[in-house]
Amino acid sequence: MEVKLHDIGEGMTEAEITCFLVKPGDFVQADDPLLEVQTDKMTAEIPSPMAGIIQEFKVKPGQTVPVGTTLVLLNNIDGAVDRISQKKSSKTAIIEKVPHDINDKNTPSKRILASPYTRKIAREKGINIEEVEGTGPSGRITDEDIFKLISVLQDTAIAPEINSAVTPTKTSYEKNTIPFRGRRKQIAKKMVRSMYTIPHCTHFEEVDVTSILQFCSELKKHNQNISMTAFFLKALSICLKEYPIFNAVLDEENEEIQLLDEHHIGIAVDMEEGLMVPVVKNVEKKSIRAIHSEMKQLTEKTLENKLALKDISDGTFTISNVGPLGGSFGATPIIQHPEVALVSFHKTKKMPVVTEDDQIIIRSIMNLSMSFDHRVADGATAVRFTNRFAALIQDPKMLLLEMV
């Protein structure tokens, strides 16, 4: 049987082969992972559609292949047993190939339970994951199990062998080049498509965040550690309700703009391989505390490469919070097609501000940039949108009045 690369979701067209999780000759059960692939949005395992024996891999790690490509040749149980019987006349020979009764429900599975991120750690550290004893549920191998084994090997002076095993051979990297594939390549394709399709226009604004910073500090005194970004998301949701044109999709074929009622806000997370955008669903229905909790969970899953397809799908609006990294004067963020707008929050600085009675006071000022699709909305609407957002953030009491 040919196991092919199928569309994991969201209309993917290709994926990069990351690694093999089994080898030719291995017996696998239905749904056991065969290999790991990297799409533009996530790392995923390709499972076996049935029980059988691995005959051959038709692809190589590092190769990028389109949907529909044959990945693995898999012998079903009956065919595999027949071929073994032909080569070895005795029933014992069959047992040597398949050491347990394949119909016995008590037969131990050869599947290694470990997340793609855990497998990646093992590969990078030169650890054979099959030799690791899992301490997680059902024997699942955890990140801690890998690091514990490394510590043991280091204590027994075996670590130098591991380090030498993973020493990279001479490759094109020594020529000051890096591979342009996988997630970075897919991000490039999406950015080009977005810039080619959407006429971007960017509006810049300054927002006084002094009061919201003080409010967050007061909450900490009551053991309520709520990030300022959670308040930003709730304020944006209120603004999107008042200006739904920025929570929309342009359907050029049917010549209509679809206004969306649900606010699924994506949060760009910086990763070494490129940005990932997990999505907080239905922000309009959630409390600020619930938004903060979901943001924290999604960020942790992102950093561990454990995002599922549902975590990155159906976004209607996106934010990018680059303030902690710097960026004082803003940028022109690229919109996530087919969304209509994206807001980027930049560095907050203390600055002198002149009040209405000509007094000079020190306030915390954050720069904000908002890119929007100029086919769908105009600059004046964007200014009203950011003014409304600034008013809600500058006075948290106004934000609380809008809560339902």
Residue 148's pLDDT is 79
Same domain, 88 and 120: no
Catalytic site includes residue 374 = yes
DSSP 143-177: HHHHHHHHHHHHHTT-HHHHHHHTPPPS-GGGGT-
Amino acid, res. 208: D
The per-residue pLDDT for range 128-166, each reduced to its tens digit, is 888 888 887 667 788 778 877 877 776 554 444 444 445
From 6, 200, 337, 374, the catalytic residue: 374
CATH number at residue 147: 4.10.320.10
Residue 329's pLDDT is 67
The per-residue pLDDT for range 258-269, each reduced to its tens digit, is 999 999 999 999
Residue 15's pLDDT is 85
Same domain, 252 and 379: yes
Q: In the chain, which residues have pLDDT < 70?
A: 9-11, 40-41, 77-111, 116-117, 137-138, 154-175, 182, 326-330, 404
Q: Which of 169, 194, 209 is the last residue of a domain?
A: 169
End-to-end CA distance of the chain: 56
Residue 10's pLDDT is 58
Same domain, 137 and 218: no
- What is the number of structural domains in the chain? 3
Whole domain around residue 358: which residue ranges?
Answer: 185-401
Q: How far apart, in whole angstroms, are the C-alpha atoms of residue 128 and residue 134?
A: 13
Residue 271's pLDDT is 82
Q: Which of 69, 90, 109 is the last residue of a domain?
A: 109
CATH number at residue 104: 2.40.50.100
Q: Which of 109, 124, 153 is the last residue of a domain?
A: 109
CA atoms within 13 A on the CB side of 243: 22
Q: What is the pTM of this model?
A: 0.64
